[in-house]
Amino acid sequence: MDLAHKLEPKVVAIIPARYYSNRFEGKPLAKIQGKPMIQHVYERALAAPILSRVAVATDDERIADCIRGFGGEVVMTRPDHASGTDRLAEAATLMDVPEQDVVVNIQGDQPLFPVEVVEQVARPLLDDPALPMATLIYQIIRKEEIDDPNHVKTVFDRNGMALYFSRASIPYQRDPEHPPPPTYYKHLGFYAYRKGFLLTFVSLPEGEWERFEKLEQLRALEYGYRIKVVLTEHDSIEVDTPKDLIRVEELLKNDQAIKRSSVQTLKR
């Protein structure tokens, strides 16, 4: 084996999961078609060919027992983390992830995420060793999302580097009488970090814009680090409330019905 191959970075996925939530306590363990949501997320991650390892990072024994119950890897972290990124960094350290490897943060509340997005968010860091961080964006189709602060918007330069993220509708169209309207892009909560930068990121003091917007990624921009944004054709549904579970259940049923229909067609 040559040295270049030995030093080729690997990609690992860590899924931060906490039990307590203001809007939906115990969310990771909520059942979807009889299976805990965190298991749906974990199994989808396992299906991503680019990943060499998948683990859940939690501070709750109920979640840890669930992960062990279906044979998954779990990393127990401190209970006092201010954010999922802090938990991610501790888990990456406990897992002895090498400095040059890529850590993908997969949200534990997106049980239907398309497997392809893992490759899409990690690939820029594998192709450019100097790039510290990448994330995904999606062109907004539903107009109601443009002014919804829960859907974070972003603008970026011609090289695909983020300029800003905001809960406001950016860019602002000053003269709506003259079409066409701007294209809006929303941020999807998938991140890829080089492990060394991940530790640097969590050591930085909170940024001013981060404090106003409550968006961690603004800290990286404020301190002068680049974030590559990758435009994906895949949207991803987040489960924030019990009501969202119903929507996910219906989407899964429809998807399974389509697959059964396709199989029956092929057998004819």
Contact 27, 109 (CB under 8 A): yes
Q: Which residue has the higher pLDDT, 12 or 83?
A: 12
Give the pLDDT confidence score for residue 69 in this predicted structure: 96
Range of weakest confidence among 13-27, 40-54, 207-221, 247-261: 247-261
Q: Would you state the pLDDT for residue 90? A: 96
Contact 41, 111 (CB under 8 A): yes
Q: Is the pLDDT of residue 189 over 80?
A: yes
Distance, CA of 66 to CA of 39 (rounded, Å)? 8
Task: Please tell me the distance from the alpha carbon of residue 267 to that of residue 232, in angstroms, as a whole number.
Answer: 33
pLDDT of residue 123: 97
Structure tokens at 156: 């970026």
Torsion angles phi and psi, residue 170, rounded to 5 = -110, 140
The helix/strand/coil state of 180 is coil
Mean pLDDT score, 243-254: 81
Residue 160 and residue 112 in contact, taking contact as beta carbons nearer than 8 Å: no
| pTM of the model as a whole | 0.88
**Tens-digit pLDDT profile for residues 114-161:** 999 999 999 999 999 999 999 999 999 999 999 999 899 999 999 999
Distances (CA, A) of 72 to 13, 75, 96, 116: 12, 10, 18, 21
Are 9 and 100 in contact, with CB atoms under 8 Å apart?
Answer: yes
Q: CA–CA separation, 207 vs 195, rounded Å?
A: 21
CATH of the domain at 199: 3.90.550.10
Q: How many domains does the chain divide into?
A: 1
pLDDT above 90 for 39: yes
* pLDDT score at 265: 41
Mean pLDDT of 211-226: 96
Domain that holds residue 14: 3-267
Considering only residues 267 and 25, tell me which one the structure prediction assigns the higher pLDDT.
25
- Tens digits of per-residue pLDDT, 224-247? 999 999 999 998 777 877 788 888
Mean pLDDT for the chain?
A: 89
**Residue 99, SS3?**
coil
**pLDDT band at residue 255 using 50, 70 and 90 as cut-offs:** low
Token couple for 62 = 């109920």
* Structure confidence at residue 188 (pLDDT): 92
Question: CA gyration radius for the chain?
Answer: 19
How far is residue 138's CA from residue 166's CA, in Å, rounded to a whole number?
Answer: 14
pLDDT on residue 22: 66
